[in-house]
Structure 1
Amino acid sequence: MKATVLLLTLFFSTIFPLAACSSNSPAIAPKPAVEYNDRGTTKYQRGDNQGAIQEFDRAITIAPKYAQAYANRGAAKLGLGDKQGAIADYTQAIAINPQDSLTYYNRGVAKFELNDKQGAIQDFDRAIAINPQDAETYCNRGTVKLATGNKQGGIADLTKCAELFRQQGQTADYQKILELIRQAK
Protein backbone atom coordinates (compact mmCIF):
# COMPACT_ATOMS: atom_id res chain seq x y z
CA MET A 1 0.00 0.00 0.00
CA LYS A 2 1.39 3.39 -0.93
CA ALA A 3 1.13 6.60 1.02
CA THR A 4 1.53 10.05 -0.54
CA VAL A 5 3.22 13.09 0.96
CA LEU A 6 0.33 15.38 1.82
CA LEU A 7 1.75 18.37 -0.05
CA LEU A 8 1.76 16.39 -3.26
CA THR A 9 -1.84 15.21 -3.20
CA LEU A 10 -2.79 18.60 -4.59
CA PHE A 11 -0.66 18.07 -7.67
CA PHE A 12 -1.79 14.64 -8.79
CA SER A 13 -4.95 13.73 -10.65
CA THR A 14 -5.45 10.82 -8.26
CA ILE A 15 -4.07 9.83 -4.91
CA PHE A 16 -1.83 6.91 -5.65
CA PRO A 17 -3.27 3.76 -4.09
CA LEU A 18 -1.42 1.59 -1.68
CA ALA A 19 -0.36 -1.72 -3.20
CA ALA A 20 -2.29 -4.71 -1.91
CA CYS A 21 0.67 -7.04 -2.12
CA SER A 22 4.36 -7.01 -2.85
CA SER A 23 5.74 -9.07 -5.69
CA ASN A 24 9.21 -9.18 -4.15
CA SER A 25 8.27 -10.56 -0.74
CA PRO A 26 11.01 -13.01 0.29
CA ALA A 27 8.70 -15.52 1.97
CA ILE A 28 5.30 -16.84 1.03
CA ALA A 29 2.84 -16.51 3.90
CA PRO A 30 0.39 -19.27 4.76
CA LYS A 31 -2.97 -18.94 3.03
CA PRO A 32 -4.91 -17.83 6.16
CA ALA A 33 -2.41 -14.99 6.73
CA VAL A 34 -2.74 -13.89 3.11
CA GLU A 35 -6.53 -13.97 3.45
CA TYR A 36 -6.43 -11.76 6.57
CA ASN A 37 -4.01 -9.42 4.80
CA ASP A 38 -6.36 -9.22 1.81
CA ARG A 39 -9.32 -8.48 4.09
CA GLY A 40 -7.27 -5.79 5.80
CA THR A 41 -6.41 -4.26 2.45
CA THR A 42 -10.09 -4.17 1.48
CA LYS A 43 -11.03 -2.51 4.77
CA TYR A 44 -8.20 0.00 4.33
CA GLN A 45 -9.40 0.86 0.84
CA ARG A 46 -12.90 1.45 2.25
CA GLY A 47 -11.50 3.83 4.85
CA ASP A 48 -11.81 1.44 7.82
CA ASN A 49 -8.27 1.79 9.16
CA GLN A 50 -9.09 0.34 12.57
CA GLY A 51 -10.74 -2.73 11.04
CA ALA A 52 -7.81 -3.07 8.65
CA ILE A 53 -5.34 -3.04 11.54
CA GLN A 54 -7.26 -5.87 13.23
CA GLU A 55 -7.03 -7.97 10.06
CA PHE A 56 -3.31 -7.22 9.63
CA ASP A 57 -2.77 -8.13 13.31
CA ARG A 58 -4.36 -11.52 12.62
CA ALA A 59 -2.14 -12.06 9.58
CA ILE A 60 0.96 -11.19 11.62
CA THR A 61 -0.09 -13.53 14.45
CA ILE A 62 -0.25 -16.40 11.94
CA ALA A 63 2.89 -15.38 10.03
CA PRO A 64 5.22 -13.18 12.13
CA LYS A 65 7.65 -12.85 9.19
CA TYR A 66 5.00 -11.63 6.72
CA ALA A 67 6.56 -8.31 5.67
CA GLN A 68 3.59 -7.16 3.61
CA ALA A 69 1.21 -7.40 6.58
CA TYR A 70 3.52 -5.16 8.62
CA ALA A 71 3.82 -2.69 5.75
CA ASN A 72 0.06 -2.62 5.23
CA ARG A 73 -0.59 -2.21 8.94
CA GLY A 74 1.85 0.69 8.86
CA ALA A 75 -0.21 2.36 6.13
CA ALA A 76 -3.41 1.91 8.16
CA LYS A 77 -1.71 3.33 11.27
CA LEU A 78 -0.51 6.29 9.24
CA GLY A 79 -4.10 6.77 8.09
CA LEU A 80 -5.12 7.02 11.75
CA GLY A 81 -2.36 9.54 12.47
CA ASP A 82 -0.17 7.07 14.37
CA LYS A 83 3.05 8.09 12.65
CA GLN A 84 5.38 6.45 15.19
CA GLY A 85 3.42 3.20 14.99
CA ALA A 86 3.55 3.35 11.20
CA ILE A 87 7.31 3.87 11.23
CA ALA A 88 7.74 0.93 13.63
CA ASP A 89 5.72 -1.34 11.32
CA TYR A 90 7.56 -0.15 8.20
CA THR A 91 10.88 -0.72 9.97
CA GLN A 92 9.82 -4.28 10.87
CA ALA A 93 8.77 -4.92 7.27
CA ILE A 94 12.13 -3.61 6.04
CA ALA A 95 13.98 -5.88 8.49
CA ILE A 96 12.16 -8.84 6.95
CA ASN A 97 12.37 -7.65 3.32
CA PRO A 98 15.02 -4.94 2.81
CA GLN A 99 14.46 -4.90 -0.98
CA ASP A 100 10.89 -3.54 -0.95
CA SER A 101 11.13 0.01 -2.31
CA LEU A 102 7.49 0.71 -1.47
CA THR A 103 8.07 0.22 2.25
CA TYR A 104 11.02 2.64 2.24
CA TYR A 105 8.82 5.09 0.32
CA ASN A 106 6.00 4.81 2.86
CA ARG A 107 8.36 5.12 5.82
CA GLY A 108 9.77 8.23 4.17
CA VAL A 109 6.27 9.69 4.00
CA ALA A 110 5.71 8.96 7.70
CA LYS A 111 9.06 10.51 8.62
CA PHE A 112 8.22 13.60 6.59
CA GLU A 113 4.93 13.90 8.44
CA LEU A 114 6.91 13.79 11.71
CA ASN A 115 9.11 16.59 10.33
CA ASP A 116 12.11 14.25 10.04
CA LYS A 117 13.06 15.59 6.62
CA GLN A 118 16.55 14.06 6.53
CA GLY A 119 15.15 10.67 7.53
CA ALA A 120 12.53 10.99 4.79
CA ILE A 121 15.20 11.82 2.21
CA GLN A 122 17.26 8.81 3.29
CA ASP A 123 14.27 6.50 2.87
CA PHE A 124 13.41 8.01 -0.52
CA ASP A 125 17.09 7.57 -1.52
CA ARG A 126 16.86 3.87 -0.67
CA ALA A 127 13.54 3.46 -2.49
CA ILE A 128 15.05 5.05 -5.61
CA ALA A 129 18.13 2.84 -5.39
CA ILE A 130 15.82 -0.20 -5.46
CA ASN A 131 13.32 1.17 -8.02
CA PRO A 132 14.78 4.04 -10.07
CA GLN A 133 11.67 4.23 -12.30
CA ASP A 134 9.25 5.35 -9.56
CA ALA A 135 8.33 8.92 -10.49
CA GLU A 136 6.41 9.54 -7.27
CA THR A 137 9.46 8.86 -5.12
CA TYR A 138 11.52 11.42 -7.06
CA CYS A 139 8.65 13.87 -6.70
CA ASN A 140 8.37 13.38 -2.97
CA ARG A 141 12.13 13.50 -2.44
CA GLY A 142 12.27 16.69 -4.51
CA THR A 143 9.51 18.26 -2.46
CA VAL A 144 11.28 17.38 0.79
CA LYS A 145 14.57 18.74 -0.56
CA LEU A 146 12.81 22.01 -1.40
CA ALA A 147 11.41 22.06 2.15
CA THR A 148 14.98 21.77 3.50
CA GLY A 149 16.17 24.66 1.33
CA ASN A 150 17.95 22.48 -1.23
CA LYS A 151 16.43 24.20 -4.26
CA GLN A 152 18.87 22.75 -6.81
CA GLY A 153 18.42 19.18 -5.56
CA GLY A 154 14.67 19.58 -5.31
CA ILE A 155 14.32 20.89 -8.85
CA ALA A 156 16.60 18.11 -10.15
CA ASP A 157 14.38 15.46 -8.53
CA LEU A 158 11.19 17.11 -9.77
CA THR A 159 12.67 17.25 -13.27
CA LYS A 160 13.44 13.51 -13.10
CA CYS A 161 9.90 12.90 -11.83
CA ALA A 162 8.43 14.87 -14.75
CA GLU A 163 10.61 12.98 -17.23
CA LEU A 164 9.44 9.62 -15.83
CA PHE A 165 5.78 10.69 -15.87
CA ARG A 166 6.20 11.76 -19.51
CA GLN A 167 7.86 8.44 -20.43
CA GLN A 168 5.09 6.54 -18.64
CA GLY A 169 2.35 8.44 -20.48
CA GLN A 170 1.01 10.18 -17.37
CA THR A 171 0.45 13.49 -19.15
CA ALA A 172 -1.68 15.20 -16.49
CA ASP A 173 0.83 14.44 -13.73
CA TYR A 174 3.69 15.46 -16.02
CA GLN A 175 2.05 18.86 -16.58
CA LYS A 176 1.42 19.35 -12.85
CA ILE A 177 5.04 18.62 -12.02
CA LEU A 178 6.22 21.06 -14.70
CA GLU A 179 4.07 23.71 -13.02
CA LEU A 180 5.55 22.80 -9.63
CA ILE A 181 9.05 23.18 -11.10
CA ARG A 182 8.14 26.62 -12.49
CA GLN A 183 6.88 27.66 -9.05
CA ALA A 184 10.05 26.36 -7.39
CA LYS A 185 12.30 28.39 -9.66
Structure 2
Amino acid sequence: MATDIDDLFADGQFRFMDEDFEGSIEIFTRVLEMDPAYAKAYQARGISRLRLGDRESALADLREALRLDPENPRFHYHHAAVLMQMDRLEEAVEAVSRAIDLDPAYAAAYYIRGQLYERLGDEESAAADTSHAMNLRKEQMKANRWVDM
Protein backbone atom coordinates (compact mmCIF):
# COMPACT_ATOMS: atom_id res chain seq x y z
CA MET A 1 0.00 0.00 0.00
CA ALA A 2 2.85 2.43 0.77
CA THR A 3 4.00 2.34 -2.83
CA ASP A 4 0.45 2.96 -4.08
CA ILE A 5 -0.05 5.96 -1.83
CA ASP A 6 3.42 7.32 -2.61
CA ASP A 7 2.75 6.94 -6.33
CA LEU A 8 -0.57 8.71 -5.93
CA PHE A 9 1.13 11.51 -3.98
CA ALA A 10 3.71 11.83 -6.79
CA ASP A 11 0.85 12.11 -9.29
CA GLY A 12 -0.49 15.00 -7.24
CA GLN A 13 2.92 16.65 -7.31
CA PHE A 14 3.04 16.32 -11.10
CA ARG A 15 -0.40 17.93 -11.36
CA PHE A 16 0.86 20.75 -9.16
CA MET A 17 3.94 21.26 -11.35
CA ASP A 18 1.63 21.38 -14.37
CA GLU A 19 -0.31 24.11 -12.51
CA ASP A 20 -3.40 21.91 -12.39
CA PHE A 21 -4.10 22.96 -8.82
CA GLU A 22 -7.66 21.66 -8.74
CA GLY A 23 -6.43 18.27 -9.97
CA SER A 24 -3.64 18.21 -7.41
CA ILE A 25 -6.10 19.03 -4.62
CA GLU A 26 -8.29 16.11 -5.70
CA ILE A 27 -5.34 13.73 -5.65
CA PHE A 28 -3.96 14.96 -2.32
CA THR A 29 -7.46 14.59 -0.85
CA ARG A 30 -7.54 10.96 -2.06
CA VAL A 31 -4.15 10.39 -0.43
CA LEU A 32 -5.54 11.76 2.84
CA GLU A 33 -8.60 9.53 2.56
CA MET A 34 -6.22 6.57 2.32
CA ASP A 35 -3.98 7.83 5.14
CA PRO A 36 -5.22 10.74 7.27
CA ALA A 37 -1.77 10.98 8.89
CA TYR A 38 0.10 11.68 5.61
CA ALA A 39 1.37 15.09 6.70
CA LYS A 40 3.08 15.97 3.40
CA ALA A 41 -0.27 15.62 1.63
CA TYR A 42 -1.76 18.29 3.90
CA GLN A 43 1.18 20.56 3.11
CA ALA A 44 0.91 19.94 -0.62
CA ARG A 45 -2.86 20.38 -0.66
CA GLY A 46 -2.49 23.57 1.35
CA ILE A 47 -0.02 25.01 -1.13
CA SER A 48 -2.32 24.03 -4.01
CA ARG A 49 -5.23 25.74 -2.26
CA LEU A 50 -3.10 28.82 -1.71
CA ARG A 51 -2.33 28.95 -5.43
CA LEU A 52 -6.08 29.04 -6.07
CA GLY A 53 -6.49 31.87 -3.57
CA ASP A 54 -8.19 29.82 -0.84
CA ARG A 55 -6.07 31.09 2.04
CA GLU A 56 -8.32 29.87 4.87
CA SER A 57 -8.31 26.28 3.61
CA ALA A 58 -4.58 26.51 2.93
CA LEU A 59 -4.01 27.68 6.49
CA ALA A 60 -6.13 24.82 7.88
CA ASP A 61 -4.14 22.26 5.86
CA LEU A 62 -0.78 23.67 6.96
CA ARG A 63 -1.91 23.65 10.58
CA GLU A 64 -2.91 20.01 10.27
CA ALA A 65 0.46 19.15 8.71
CA LEU A 66 2.14 20.88 11.67
CA ARG A 67 -0.04 19.03 14.15
CA LEU A 68 1.09 15.75 12.60
CA ASP A 69 4.76 16.71 12.24
CA PRO A 70 5.65 19.79 14.32
CA GLU A 71 9.39 19.34 13.75
CA ASN A 72 9.24 19.75 9.97
CA PRO A 73 10.80 23.13 9.05
CA ARG A 74 9.17 23.12 5.59
CA PHE A 75 5.72 23.00 7.16
CA HIS A 76 6.55 26.02 9.32
CA TYR A 77 7.93 27.85 6.28
CA HIS A 78 4.77 27.27 4.23
CA HIS A 79 2.60 28.13 7.24
CA ALA A 80 4.47 31.45 7.38
CA ALA A 81 3.94 32.02 3.65
CA VAL A 82 0.17 31.62 4.04
CA LEU A 83 0.12 33.93 7.05
CA MET A 84 2.18 36.47 5.10
CA GLN A 85 -0.35 36.46 2.27
CA MET A 86 -3.07 37.03 4.87
CA ASP A 87 -1.13 40.06 6.22
CA ARG A 88 -0.73 38.34 9.58
CA LEU A 89 2.89 39.43 9.64
CA GLU A 90 3.81 38.94 13.31
CA GLU A 91 2.42 35.40 13.26
CA ALA A 92 4.31 34.75 10.04
CA VAL A 93 7.57 35.90 11.66
CA GLU A 94 6.96 33.45 14.52
CA ALA A 95 6.26 30.59 12.10
CA VAL A 96 9.27 31.18 9.88
CA SER A 97 11.50 31.73 12.90
CA ARG A 98 10.49 28.25 14.08
CA ALA A 99 11.53 26.89 10.66
CA ILE A 100 14.92 28.57 11.12
CA ASP A 101 15.25 27.16 14.65
CA LEU A 102 14.68 23.68 13.22
CA ASP A 103 16.96 24.19 10.20
CA PRO A 104 19.48 27.02 10.65
CA ALA A 105 20.74 26.52 7.06
CA TYR A 106 17.28 27.09 5.50
CA ALA A 107 18.13 30.03 3.21
CA ALA A 108 14.61 30.53 1.87
CA ALA A 109 13.31 30.90 5.44
CA TYR A 110 15.77 33.72 6.14
CA TYR A 111 14.78 35.37 2.89
CA ILE A 112 11.04 35.33 3.64
CA ARG A 113 11.68 36.50 7.20
CA GLY A 114 13.68 39.39 5.75
CA GLN A 115 10.68 40.30 3.60
CA LEU A 116 8.43 40.13 6.65
CA TYR A 117 10.74 42.37 8.68
CA GLU A 118 10.83 44.84 5.81
CA ARG A 119 7.03 44.96 5.70
CA LEU A 120 7.02 45.47 9.47
CA GLY A 121 9.44 48.38 9.12
CA ASP A 122 12.45 46.70 10.76
CA GLU A 123 15.03 47.53 8.10
CA GLU A 124 18.02 46.36 10.16
CA SER A 125 16.60 42.86 10.74
CA ALA A 126 15.41 42.72 7.13
CA ALA A 127 18.89 43.49 5.82
CA ALA A 128 20.54 41.00 8.19
CA ASP A 129 18.21 38.15 7.19
CA THR A 130 18.44 38.91 3.47
CA SER A 131 22.23 39.01 3.67
CA HIS A 132 22.31 35.77 5.65
CA ALA A 133 20.02 34.10 3.09
CA MET A 134 22.34 35.14 0.25
CA ASN A 135 25.42 33.89 2.11
CA LEU A 136 23.78 30.54 2.81
CA ARG A 137 22.83 30.17 -0.88
CA LYS A 138 26.41 30.93 -1.91
CA GLU A 139 27.75 28.34 0.52
CA GLN A 140 25.23 25.78 -0.73
CA MET A 141 26.16 26.48 -4.34
CA LYS A 142 29.87 26.04 -3.55
CA ALA A 143 29.17 22.77 -1.75
CA ASN A 144 27.15 21.52 -4.72
CA ARG A 145 30.03 22.26 -7.08
CA TRP A 146 32.34 20.10 -4.97
CA VAL A 147 29.84 17.27 -4.97
CA ASP A 148 29.32 17.51 -8.74
CA MET A 149 33.05 17.27 -9.53
TM-score using structure 1 length: 0.74
SS in 2 for 1:168: helix
Paired with 1:145 and 1:97, the residues of 2 have a C-alpha distance of 27
- Offset at 1:31? 3.0
Structure 1 stretches of 4+ moved >3 Å: none
Q: CA RMSD in A?
A: 1.3
1:89 to 61, 83, 93: 61
**Amino acid of the structure 1 residue aligned with 2:20:** D
* Residue 113 of structure 1: aligned partner: 85
* Residue 157 of structure 1: aligned partner: 129
Paired with 1:98 and 1:33, the residues of 2 have a C-alpha distance of 22
**Amino acid of the structure 2 residue aligned with 1:51:** G
- Offset at 1:32? 2.8
Bigger helix fraction: 2
- How much identity, in percent, do the aligned residues show? 26
Matches for 1:19-168 after TM superposition, within 5 Å: 30-168=2-140
SS in 2 for 1:98: coil
* Residue 174 of structure 1: aligned partner: none
The Cα offsets for residues 32-51 of structure 1, whole Å up to 9 and x where unpaired, read as: 32222111111000000000
SS in 2 for 1:169: helix
Aligned length: 142
The Cα offsets for residues 83-110 of structure 1, whole Å up to 9 and x where unpaired, read as: 1111110100010011111111011111
SS in 1 for 2:87: coil
Task: Say if 1:94 and 1:103, in contact at 8 Å, map to a contact too.
Answer: yes
* Residue 147 of structure 2: aligned partner: none
Where structure 1 has 5 or more consecutive residues not aligned to the other structure, the ranges are: 1-28, 171-185
TM-score using structure 2 length: 0.91
